[in-house]
Chains A and B, each alone.
Chain A
Amino acid sequence: MLLAPAAVWYVAFFVAPLGFILVFSFLTSADYGGIDYKFNLGNYPQLLKAPIYLRIFLNTIGMAFTGTALCLVVGFPLAYFLATRAGRWKNVFLIMLIVPFWTSFLTRTYAWLILLSDSGPLAHVLRQAHLLQGDLGFLYTYKAVLMGVVYNYLPLMVFPLYVSLERLDKRLLEAAKDLGAGRLRAFWRITVPLTMPGILTGCLLVFIPLTGEYVIPAILGGAKSYMIGNLIGDEFVSAHDWAFGSALGMAVIVLLMVLIAIYFRLARRATSAEMSL
């Protein structure tokens, strides 16, 4: 009985929508949108038939991996600083990391549009300082997308890392030092393995939503980055091919399940490494 509310929630918000997508992916699209309730196995083969769809998948995964790696590279030193060096300013810094997220995601991304514009403040300052001639040329490129990704997803990476680093037993580092390990060696042999659960969680939290990222490529990428999220959106909204859009959605889900399975294997290995230490 106590489980009933959870079950209702689970059915309403998870099983039912997913069920619709699954069913739609085996039906036929009506002319100018909508669904004809005729069984159709053709949506999945269509995915493989035209090479563009495969290319869009690869582009998206590539973007998600690169974006995650960049978040890690930028986020780890930040989290390390927060956990070990920030002292009594720690809470101030943590709040500063959160406050921008009280404004809408869309507004923040559009703000970059103005900042990075060829007639925007950044270009203006660089020109004044004679560091730039002509146009900035940064907006509407793949680089601009990655920058938007790092900016928007960084907290998702930093917080799990921060928690892991905070919990790290500092005495282990001292012990490593006493036993003659240099700082770098101690970092690679002690800090990294022990914070691996945080690293993996952060990567997962960034990577999964990134595979469905739709807004950042559309706003900052201009015509240069077209991801699965954009394709699915267009299939539903512009092309009105709901059946094929559903098949694309299912393909993304399957792909993510495979990647998450890999994650769990890695995570289990990481935790058992921690245990054995």
Chain B
Amino acid sequence: MSRPFGSELSRREFLAMSALATGGLALAACGVGSTSTASNSLAPVGPIESELSVYNWDQYLSPDDLKAFKAKYPSLKVNTATYASNEDMLAKIEAGAKGYDVVVPTGYMVEIMIAKKLLMSLDYRQLPNFSHVDSIFRDPGYDPSSKHSVPKDWGTTGFGVRTDKLTLMSTWKDFFSNAAQYKGKVSVLDGATEVVGMALKANGFSYNSDKDSELSKARDTLLQFKPYVGKITSTDYKADLTSGNIWAAMGWNGDFEALTGQTPAPPVKYVIPSEGAELWIDCWAILASAPHPVAAHTFINFFLDPKIQGQEIQYTYYAQAESEAKQYMPDAIRNDPIIFPSADSLRPLETRKATPGGQRARDQIFAEFKAA
């Protein structure tokens, strides 16, 4: 049973994304629905339901925009719940959690959820704002023809450093091997994929390697690194960097950028390591079991509005898949190289492609890392 999951982000997508990052992409003509739609099992069209439940990452939706949505649909009761990782979300849905409508899986998780038949085919007649999505995001490898998902935003996984406490590093190799300098003051994400993947990168291998010999090198790197690790968390590192409990943290670019927006802003700098790292796309999707599909489409369509996207980025600090949104954001964000990295720094990045065997190997290494 080792059906490889997924085709890669194609070279075309990738170059286009680099172009997008440098701001030089001319918008391709965009016709709604030309690349999308499935004819079978379309979501029902009908009057909007009275309720909607959104299951999302923590702090991943601006409260102001949510308020605006509620103001626009006053009869709709909106419930929100949060999760800390794709795996948490999948576990809860698979364990039979009922009632959620909208979820926000990362690309590789979209693919897994499609394979498990957990996602509904989207009805693009109800998503007119999909026309604003850049064409390079319309046909991603993880979800051909965007049948089951639309991009919410994208970003990179690297590390951030308190520059008042440490000299800035530029590689994963340094991040792992310099740890004696910040004993107890370094945190990594609570995810087997990310942690094992970055240890693979530090050794010069692919983020997605499933080779035993390469995984075992990554394991050695991690076990040597472990005595110095202060914390394993995907949710607390923003607060820990601010308070000084942590000086160096593996994490997502937008989180570190969000810190620079705080007053007072802690002296934190984010790095895309030169070996490369992960490039991910988080997506809006609707569960096959969603009790309120019309409300769910309405919700996603609302957040695909470029104007709303321009506001969202001022809260999440993650780049969106709509160049049109750029006119609605302040210059400081539009020109921020952490949010919109240069083509050069995007080049060594990889997207995650999971296989069952590789995922299991990562989980085992990660359990060992945690227990060490």
Q: Are A117 and B245 in contact (CB under 8 A)?
A: yes
Q: Are B90 and A234 in contact (CB under 8 A)?
A: no
Q: Are A238 and B356 in contact (CB under 8 A)?
A: no
Considering the chains assembled together, what is the distance between the CA atoms of A240 and B87 in angstroms?
Answer: 8
Chain B residues near A32 (CB-CB < 8 A): 90, 112, 115-116, 354, 356, 359
Residue interface mask A230-266, B partner, CB < 8 A = 1: 1100111111110000000000000000000000000
Listed stretches B21-29, B167-175, B203-211, B225-233; interface member: B225-233
Chain B residues near A59 (CB-CB < 8 A): 371
Q: Are B90 and A240 in contact (CB under 8 A)?
A: yes
Does A153 sit within 8 A of B, measured CB to CB? Answer: no
Q: Are A231 and B91 in contact (CB under 8 A)?
A: no
Chain A residue nearest to B83 (CB atoms) is A237
Q: Are A238 and B363 in contact (CB under 8 A)?
A: yes
Q: Are A223 and B370 in contact (CB under 8 A)?
A: yes
Residue interface mask A16-49, B partner, CB < 8 A = 1: 0000000000000001111000000000000000
Min Cβ gap B242→A in Å is 9
Considering the chains assembled together, what is the distance between the CA atoms of A118 and B165 in angstroms?
Answer: 14
Q: Are B230 and A222 in contact (CB under 8 A)?
A: yes
Residues of chain B in range 224-281 having any CB-CB distance to chain A below 8 Å: 226, 229-232, 243-245
Q: Are A223 and B112 in contact (CB under 8 A)?
A: no
Residues of chain B in range 333-347 having any CB-CB distance to chain A below 8 Å: none
Residue interface mask A111-144, B partner, CB < 8 A = 1: 0000001111000000000000001010111000
Considering the chains assembled together, what is the distance between the CA atoms of A226 and B190 in angstroms?
Answer: 13
Does A56 sit within 8 A of B, measured CB to CB? Answer: yes
Min Cβ gap B251→A in Å is 15
Interface of chain B, main secondary structure: helix
Chain B residues near A120 (CB-CB < 8 A): 243
Q: Are B231 and A140 in contact (CB under 8 A)?
A: yes
Of the candidates A52, A119, A139, which one forms a contact with B367 in the assembled complex, judged by CB atoms under 8 Å apart?
A52
Considering the chains assembled together, what is the distance between the CA atoms of A35 and B2 in angstroms?
Answer: 17
Min Cβ gap B316→A in Å is 24
Q: Are A231 and B90 in contact (CB under 8 A)?
A: no
Of the candidates A31, A117, A222, A230, which one forms a contact with B356 in the assembled complex, judged by CB atoms under 8 Å apart?
A31
Q: Are B244 and A119 in contact (CB under 8 A)?
A: yes
Does A55 sit within 8 A of B, measured CB to CB? Answer: yes
Chain A residues near B150 (CB-CB < 8 A): none
Interface residues on chain A, number (Cβ under 8 Å): 31
Of the candidates A55, A117, A135, A237, which one forms a contact with B91 in the assembled complex, judged by CB atoms under 8 Å apart?
A237
Q: Are B192 and A56 in contact (CB under 8 A)?
A: no
Of the candidates A34, A140, A234, which one forms a contact with B94 in the assembled complex, judged by CB atoms under 8 Å apart?
A34
Q: Are A223 and B231 in contact (CB under 8 A)?
A: yes
Chain A residue nearest to B228 (CB atoms) is A223
Does A50 sit within 8 A of B, measured CB to CB? Answer: yes
Chain B residue nearest to A140 (CB atoms) is B230
Chain A residues near B372 (CB-CB < 8 A): 52
Residue interface mask B68-102, A partner, CB < 8 A = 1: 00000000000000000101101100100000000
Min Cβ gap A165→B in Å is 40
Q: Are A119 and B90 in contact (CB under 8 A)?
A: no
Of the candidates B88, B226, B243, which one forms a contact with A119 in the assembled complex, judged by CB atoms under 8 Å apart?
B243
Chain B residue nearest to A221 (CB atoms) is B231
Q: Are B245 and A140 in contact (CB under 8 A)?
A: yes
Interface residues on B, range: 35 or more
Residues of chain A in range 32-87 having any CB-CB distance to chain B below 8 Å: 32-34, 50, 52, 55-56, 59
Considering the chains assembled together, what is the distance between the CA atoms of A119 and B240 in angstroms?
Answer: 10
Considering the chains assembled together, what is the distance between the CA atoms of A143 and B226 in angstroms?
Answer: 18
Chain A residue nearest to B191 (CB atoms) is A238
| Highest count of chain B CB atoms <10 Å: which of A31, A226, A236 | A31
Once A137-B184, A223-B229 are accepted as A-B contacts, the answer to whether A236 and B244 lie under 8 Å apart by CB is: no
Min Cβ gap A226→B in Å is 5
Chain B residues near A240 (CB-CB < 8 A): 87, 90-91, 94, 363
Considering the chains assembled together, what is the distance between the CA atoms of A141 and B229 in angstroms?
Answer: 11
Q: Are B371 and A56 in contact (CB under 8 A)?
A: yes
Chain B residues near A230 (CB-CB < 8 A): 370
Does B332 sit within 8 A of A, measured CB to CB? Answer: no
Min Cβ gap A29→B in Å is 9
Q: Are A50 and B243 in contact (CB under 8 A)?
A: no
Chain A residues near B229 (CB-CB < 8 A): 222-223
Chain A residue nearest to B368 (CB atoms) is A52
Considering the chains assembled together, what is the distance between the CA atoms of A234 and B364 in angstroms?
Answer: 11
Chain B residue nearest to A31 (CB atoms) is B356
Q: Are B371 and A52 in contact (CB under 8 A)?
A: yes
Chain A residues near B354 (CB-CB < 8 A): 32
Chain A residues near B363 (CB-CB < 8 A): 238-241
Chain B residues near A231 (CB-CB < 8 A): 367, 370-371
Min Cβ gap A60→B in Å is 10
- 6 residue pairs, one from A and one from B, having the closest CB atoms: A31-B356, A239-B363, A222-B231, A223-B229, A237-B91, A119-B243
Can you report 10 residue pairs joining A to B where beta carbons are below 8 Å apart? A32-B116, A32-B356, A33-B90, A52-B368, A56-B371, A120-B243, A222-B229, A222-B230, A222-B231, A238-B191
Given contact pairs A117-B245, A135-B244, enumerate 13 new A-B contacts (beta carbons under 8 Å).
Answer: A32-B354, A52-B371, A120-B243, A222-B184, A222-B229, A223-B226, A226-B370, A230-B370, A231-B370, A238-B363, A239-B87, A239-B366, A241-B363
